[in-house]
Amino acid sequence: MIIIDHNSKTPVYEQIKVQILSLITSGVLSPGDKLPSLRTLAADLSLNFNTIKKVFAQLEADGVIITVQGKGCFVADTARDNRTVQDKAEVALREAMAVARASGVSKEAAEAILAETFGQ
């Protein structure tokens, strides 16, 4: 379900967060679905419990998941159309585009990357 690339420059917690968001937006995880427990996910991925806790805390703060005391974490009803997550993604995209532009990446190359990312 979640695959960690230990050779990636992207922090592990960010890889997990992006993959959970992707599972939600693609429909693999639906509103109301129960997520694995923090301890189970940490053990399955051979990661520190606190790393998973950080991911879940960020997702909960963004309104993507909810925690029900004694029952676990669930995908929130509003997870797919979450404006907070979309706004953060847009800011990150704009920042990355500014860095690419300043580094000499052409508009055509940026558009090709964008098309590839969105599967076009």
Confidence of residue 81 (pLDDT cuts 50, 70, 90): confident
Distance CA 63, CA 8 (A): 27
Contact 101, 75 (CB under 8 A): no
DSSP-derived secondary structure letter, 34: B
Contact 65, 75 (CB under 8 A): yes
pLDDT of residue 1: 80
Give residue-wise pLDDT tens across range 2-28. 999 999 999 999 999 999 998 998 889
Measured from the Cβ of residue 71, the count of other Cβ atoms closer than 10 Å reads 8
Give residue-wise pLDDT tens across range 101-120. 999 999 999 999 999 988 86
pLDDT tops 90 at residue 75: yes
pLDDT of residue 120: 65
Contact 31, 73 (CB under 8 A): no
Confidence of residue 63 (pLDDT cuts 50, 70, 90): very high
Residue ranges in 1-120 assigned as alpha helix (H): 12-25, 38-45, 49-61, 83-102, 107-117
In terms of Cα–Cα distance, which of 66, 65, 70 is closest to 20? 65
